[in-house]
Amino acid sequence: MKNFLQVSRDEFLNDLYTVVRPAEPIDTNEFLFGRGDQVDTLETALHAPGRHAFIYGDRGVGKSSLVHTVAFNMQEDNDPIFVSCVPESTLAGIIADAFRDAVEQIDASRSEWSASASIGISAT
């Protein structure tokens, strides 16, 4: 173990920010401490057909870190696709963003592919 007085400032900061990332969510179980029950509950909910999860809480409590960690745990072949929303977002825009990111992942991993999608929305 290094004595922090014996390392340069750059080396200390590099080592520190390997573990602590205050500006971005955690995405591995290794750094997500004390959330094992929440990870299990969320993964169980997302494995059930037709189930959804709604996560809420105060800013900075780890909602994004929990979601990122579960997404990376559940994804087998590719990185998960994350779509951010703003107040002006529409359902069609969110779906288009997710589909575009999925196609980009497929395109990056395969030389030939084909894809089709159909979206139907109705209201009474």
Lowest mean pLDDT among 28-32, 55-59, 65-69, 93-97: 28-32
- State mean pLDDT over 93-103: 90
56: phi then psi, degrees, rounded to nearest 5:
-135, 160
Q: Are 27 and 65 in contact (CB under 8 A)?
A: yes
22, pLDDT greater than 70: no
**What pTM value is reported for the model?**
0.58
Q: Could you tell me the two tokens for 25? A: 């969510």
Q: Are 56 and 63 in contact (CB under 8 A)?
A: yes
* % of the chain surpassing 90 pLDDT: 13
- State mean pLDDT over 19-32: 68
96: phi then psi, degrees, rounded to nearest 5:
-60, -40
Give Rg (Cα) of the chain: 19
- State mean pLDDT over 99-117: 71
Q: Could you tell me the two tokens for 107? A: 């395109």
